[in-house]
């Protein structure tokens, strides 16, 4: 039977806003999980005590920004419009049905100008500490990885610039150990960069966006490129984000490992195992983690050699005689330790030129094979031993349910696939607030 609905749009009713929001709603769980009064001490020094116009409540502003990240709303302008129309959102910020929502200009000014980066760091730390206090964080095993966030920049608007080479955090320590290794082998100290014609110490040419110069050109696959930022993240077994660093998209993951690792381990000293992917399997990273008394869980990394060439493991290192034996049982003797930290072992060209396997060993014009081994290569071997252990295998297997799940949820549910903001500082603040919202959601849902 056909029924016609009565138009009730103009009916007047009296109802409490609290009675309209369902009991099991996510925002109700968040409101019960944490007290937002803790925000006032973080921002009160940014407001004048006895002068100026009455300001919008900072707790309301922070809650509105959290709503943006909880529900993956693309922008603060859109968030403001959603709050104005959504009863549950109004209930969450403490407004009734007809209280005017703060203007977008007020909301935008607060997060672009008034609130410095320290406020976003404090909000992230405050929510994480609440999760720790509730016993939800399990930092014995942490997972570190990085993902790219598409920048708000046209990839066709670019220019070339000279990029200066920046010093690595371990350069001084590496140089000292290189000099010690050269001295032990009877070699002279290395010359300073610029003293010889081969080492100029200059920079390289980089592609820079004219729209957002602080982003970086990221190569996505073989053919696609785009300007992006990179979020370097550490999480625990329960997928709580423990640390986050943001860089331009053209910065390699391994270069930012130290900052993420230090932030996570300084906050949680009980970390026992650090799980990373193949991009972090470098001598320095393995050394740093192992020297701290922790395990590093890594995957198998394929040898970076030619398709039809001998693999690196085909050349056996003899520690006692400090030499390398090739697959044809010829000895490659130590010649030097270069400034990158690699010991070089070279073959005898007179023996190699008549070798039947020369074509799959080297294509050098003088028929000489050079094998390099890093002075910290033994730390890679320790990592390999842990990889074959039951603990190492179990921890690396969990990457798919931990750090990779964090990135998947952030992009699919919380709008992290791209950013509308420009500039490293603003994108960093935006991402810290996003991960704070994700931690808040997990805490409210009881992990």
User: Residues 6 or more apart from 72 whose CB is under 8 A from it?
Assistant: 413, 414, 415
Per-residue confidence at 195, pLDDT binned at 50, 70, 90? very low
Quick check: 271 pLDDT over 90?
yes
- Report which listed range, 11-15, 44-48, 128-132, 326-330, is most confident: 128-132
For residue 221, the model assigns a pLDDT of: 73
Quick check: 198 pLDDT over 50?
no
Per-residue confidence at 267, pLDDT binned at 50, 70, 90? very high
What token pair was written down for 72? 């993956």
For residue 199, the model assigns a pLDDT of: 42
Nearest 5°: the CA angle 242, 247, 253 is 75
By mean pLDDT, which of 73-77, 135-139, 169-173, 383-387 is the weakest?
169-173
Quick check: 202 pLDDT over 80?
no
For range 318-343, the mean pLDDT: 92
For range 269-273, the mean pLDDT: 95
Share of the chain above pLDDT 90, in %: 74
For residue 203, the model assigns a pLDDT of: 63
Please, which residues bridge with residue 150 across strands? 228, 418
Per-residue confidence at 194, pLDDT binned at 50, 70, 90? low
For residue 308, the model assigns a pLDDT of: 83
Report strand pairing: 342-346 vs 370-374.
antiparallel
- Identify the CA nearest to 47 among candidates 423, 39, 213: 39
Question: What is the rounded CA–CA span in Å between residue 238 and residue 231?
Answer: 19
Quick check: 200 pLDDT over 50?
no
Contact 344, 332 (CB under 8 A): no
Higher-pLDDT residue of 371, 193: 371
For residue 201, the model assigns a pLDDT of: 47
Quick check: 191 pLDDT over 90?
no
| Whole-number average pLDDT of the chain | 91
Quick check: 2 pLDDT over 90?
no
Higher-pLDDT residue of 301, 385: 385
Quick check: 17 pLDDT over 90?
no
For residue 404, the model assigns a pLDDT of: 96
Quick check: 16 pLDDT over 90?
no
Report strand pairing: 158-163 vs 204-209.
antiparallel
Quick check: 332 pLDDT over 60?
yes
Question: What is the rounded CA–CA span in Å between residue 72 and residue 244?
Answer: 19
Please, which residues bridge with residue 336 across strands? 344
For residue 167, the model assigns a pLDDT of: 73
For residue range 135-190, list pLDDT tens digits in order. 999 999 999 999 999 999 998 999 988 877 777 888 889 999 999 999 999 899 88
Quick check: 87 pLDDT over 80?
yes
326 exposure class (CB count in 10 Å sphere: 0-12, 13-18, 19+): buried
Contact 393, 387 (CB under 8 A): yes
């Amino acid at each position: 039977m056909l029924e016609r609905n009565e138009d009730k749009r103009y009916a007047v009713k009296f109802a409490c806003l609290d009675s309209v929001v369902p009991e099991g709603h996510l925002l109700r769980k968040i409101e019960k999980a944490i007290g937002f009064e803790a925000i006032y001490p973080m921002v009160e020094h940014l407001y004048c005590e006895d002068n100026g116009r009455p300001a919008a409540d900072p707790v309301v502003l922070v809650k509105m920004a959290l709503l943006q990240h909880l529900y993956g709303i693309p922008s603060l302008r859109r968030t403001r419009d959603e709050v104005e129309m959504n009863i549950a959102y109004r209930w969450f910020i403490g407004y009734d049905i007809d209280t005017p929502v703060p203007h977008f200009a007020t909301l935008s000014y607060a997060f672009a100008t008034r609130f410095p980066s320290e406020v976003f760091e404090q909000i992230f730390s405050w929510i994480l500490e609440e999760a720790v206090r509730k016993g939800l964080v399990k930092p014995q095993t942490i997972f570190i990885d990085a993902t790219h966030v598409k920048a708000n920049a046209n990839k066709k608007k670019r220019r070339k610039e000279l990029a200066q080479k920046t010093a690595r955090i371990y350069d001084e320590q590496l140089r000292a150990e290189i000099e010690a290794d050269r001295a032990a082998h009877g070699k002279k100290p290395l010359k300073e960069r610029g003293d010889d014609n081969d080492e100029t110490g200059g920079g390289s040419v980089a592609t820079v966006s004219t729209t957002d110069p602080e982003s970086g050109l990221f190569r996505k696959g073989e053919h696609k490129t785009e300007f992006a930022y990179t979020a370097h993240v550490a999480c625990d077994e329960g997928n709580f984000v423990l640390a986050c660093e943001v860089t331009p998209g053209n910065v390699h993951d391994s270069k930012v490992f130290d900052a993420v690792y230090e932030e996570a381990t300084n906050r949680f000293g009980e970390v026992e195992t650090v799980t990373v992917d193949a991009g972090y399997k470098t001598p320095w990273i393995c050394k740093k983690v192992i020297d701290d008394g922790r395990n590093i869980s890594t995957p198998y990394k394929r040898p970076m050699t030619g398709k039809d060439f001998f693999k690196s493991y085909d050349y056996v290192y003899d520690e006692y005689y400090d030499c390398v034996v090739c697959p044809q049982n010829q000895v490659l003797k130590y010649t030097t330790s270069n400034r990158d930290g690699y010991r070089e072992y070279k073959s005898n060209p007179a023996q190699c030129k008549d070798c039947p396997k020369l074509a799959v060993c080297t294509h050098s014009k003088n028929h000489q094979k050079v094998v390099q081994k890093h002075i910290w290569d033994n730390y890679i071997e320790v990592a390999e031993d842990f990889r074959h252990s039951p603990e190492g295998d179990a921890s690396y297997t969990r990457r798919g349910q931990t750090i990779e799940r964090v990135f998947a949820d952030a992009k699919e549910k919380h709008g992290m696939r791209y950013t509308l903001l420009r500039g490293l500082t603003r994108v960093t603040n935006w991402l810290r607030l996003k991960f704070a919202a994700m931690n808040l959601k997990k805490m409210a849902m009881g992990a």
